Amino acid sequence: MFKDNLLKEQPVIRHDWLLEEVSELFQQPFFDLIFKAQCTHRAHFNPNQVQLSTLLNIKTGACSEDCAYCSQSVRFKTKIESEPLMEVEKVVSAAKKAKANGATRFCMGAAWRSPKPKEFENVLEIIKAVKALGLETCMTLGMLNAEQAMLLKTAGLDYYNHNLDTSESYYENIVSTHSYQDRLETLANVRTANIKVCCGGIMGMGESLVDRAALLQTLANLPVHPESVPINQLVRVKGTPLAEVRKLDPFEMVRCIAVARIMMPTSMIRLSAGRAEMNDELQALCFLAGANSMFYGEKLLTTGNATTEHDRQLFNRLGISSIQST
């Protein structure tokens, strides 16, 4: 924990946020909001350290769902070629490379509505093999029932990613093949299995400020805050329904991170998708606003990311080091 004189009292961990309160945070003057977020951040974390995760797509494309942002949906004409679940050895090889480059967490994603029994057995073997390397493990496999969540825990899974994406009221504009409640039930199953939760959203999908506030309200009012909160900026992929949506104002992205940090003081706030479109100055503002985790590596599922060498140079310029354990 890193403390200084900017904040004399510890921020209160709350689970009773009102939508009006959250909306007011979003509307604060930019510098006031950043200052408050940085004070909160320093009360719980070293402000000059960032946790590094690497993300690998272990099964690509042919997903039955219609998430409007996703290039892997079978319903959209994108350039993504479907690929079956990767072999254990190939995943382990990628995990070793990620660890050598400084990642402490290895995240794996499969484009499914939910895992099928035969492939699920292979997923469990992948988790065991990656865990044996000394890395934290994270999976995103779609919806889970209670039994599947317990099996993942037994295999050694540390984190499960299942984003809420946006507010409940705006959700029907983004997905129609499953409900918001389906997502919340998966999160509950993961928490019951004692797996840490990685859950955030995507900004820039045409949602309003109130929708962003409602998303963060939902996350912060969960019985336990997600240990990791990915804040994604929409990557507009040709062929998806959101390919032509208006680009997000960069300062709005920073505001989202700052508000998330204030509301969830002890969570790792992750700078996620869309980072390849951000310049170094914008990324520095995101770190200042309270982001202290990021994906490290040149690809995020099917979209590009900054190179590891560029990230190292940025860290050197900012005086940032990587967190070795979480």
Known catalytic residues are 63, 67, 70, 107, 138, 198, 270
Residues sharing a CB contact under 8 Å with residue 258, sequence separation 6 or more, in sequence order? 25, 33, 34, 36, 37, 289, 290
Q: Is 63 helix (H, G, I), strand (E, B) or coil?
A: strand
**3 state DSSP class of 293:** strand
Q: How far apart are CA 66 and CA 10, in angstroms?
A: 42
Query: Residues 37, 262: contact at Cβ < 8 Å?
Result: yes
Q: From residue 292, give the alpha-carbon distance in Å to each of 260, 272, 284.
A: 12, 11, 11
Give the number of other Cβ atoms within 10 Å of residue 325's Cβ. 8
Residue 184, H or E segment: helix 180-192
CA distance 144 to 136: 20
Residue 16 to residue 89: CA distance in whole angstroms: 46
Q: Assess contact for 274 and 313: CB atoms under 8 A.
A: no
Other C-beta atoms closer than 10 Å to the C-beta of 42 total 18
The closest alpha carbon to 60, from 78, 85, 97, 36, belongs to 85
- To the nearest 10 degrees (0 to 180), the angle between helices 19-26 and 250-263 is 130
Tokens standing for 292?
Answer: 């202290």
Residues facing 159 on adjacent strands: 138, 196
